[in-house]
Structure 1
């Protein structure tokens, strides 16, 4: 059985006339009849009941015809599907991201990409940078929004593009401001930063962010007093709201409104956090190629 036989069967079933079906198929009638008989031999039953006056479908032919038409329609769609995959108009984009990106870059990037390529499925995976990098190297994800670390250079197989640099601000318990524990809600002074207990990402999961924050304390002439660590930014902000301490977070985290938390600028020159996109070079999937073009 091959596609030509299926097309022959569909033409005869539509016309119920071997001569007219042969004309439609631009072939002579004898090869068409041979093709149908070969198909019937393979199926072990007739598809058409033939008399000198007419041709009609058998019960097998009637039941089988819709399935054959579905298969032929699917075959006709294959070139269109292939072109859509080739051009990145269909398919899948697998994107991982650090939790901080959820309040800065990610929403707008996903919205713009979805509007430009509505038939591409976007799969999102939240993960710390240390988890993302092996997945990118192994081809488990197309790209990842990460916080790069100078101490841990990217694997040579990965490419990188900076997307954002933003200053850190202090997430402070609102109660501290209301009771005067923080003297100026417009800016957190050097003395207030150094005196405050700190909530921070563990260094092993976010070395770049951890070192940026602790390095800031060192630059102020003191040392960070870390009272609690958490790997989710939402958890860190929740701990701040409980009054456990402050957290230094990207300015875009102001988009994470939480009762009991105020975001206060740092006095003087605040440290800046870099966020960027990493992806594996080489044979880039079309959906990723379009995503990269969207960043231009």
Structure 2
């Protein structure tokens, strides 16, 4: 087996050819790697075979033909079933699991790969399928750093911003979930604001242009908040929680007046009010992490 995993002679198998799996395989084929593909529905491989990929009739055949085995299927249970099916064919290979699931599932898949004698990385893709292969596409990887380093050239074909985040296979999943968690919070806040502006007859596009400096500054607060959380030090001389409550009350009043749903800002007001009642009025907004930690 070729020990130089940074060479384009590295053979790769892609198991699972849904929207994302097909994009992964296509990026590797286009980059000049020898790629074998397999999917439960064989005709999903037709376009990739036309581009130069080899078709396997069974997953164990695909795995046996490759040094690096990429799995992208629906859910951790399906990924583990594939590993059981491929069994002995995985010995000495590297498994790159790019399947969504929980952190515990990724660890379980990693353990199964190890039982079959394979190296393992879990990757969390942070982009949509059309961006696969882009130098700006982000993928978080966790598991053995040695496995990451040996296969880094292949991984950077899939996404230029391939980053190893931890030896624990579950951490890449948690990083991905954290990004999505923040994304949904920001998007929901924006959509509530857009509904409020729309109810007042104000174009949302005009708002985003005028408010751009304030909006783009919001993510710059994250490192400061992260430092406060990691140190568990929340006292602040400015922008304390007690100053948030009047603004939240104003937002609720305006929303009610204009017939806008108040569930989202009400939940935020409840969080702030509870912290004030607990004596945290002079602390920063980061103090509310304790409320989420309690569940």
- With the shorter chain as reference, the TM-score category is under 0.3
Which is bigger in relative contact order (C-alpha 8 A, separation at least 6)? 1
Higher Cα Rg, which structure: 1
For normalisation by structure 1, the TM-score amounts to: 0.23
Structure having the larger proportion of residues in helix:
2
TM-score (norm 2): 0.23
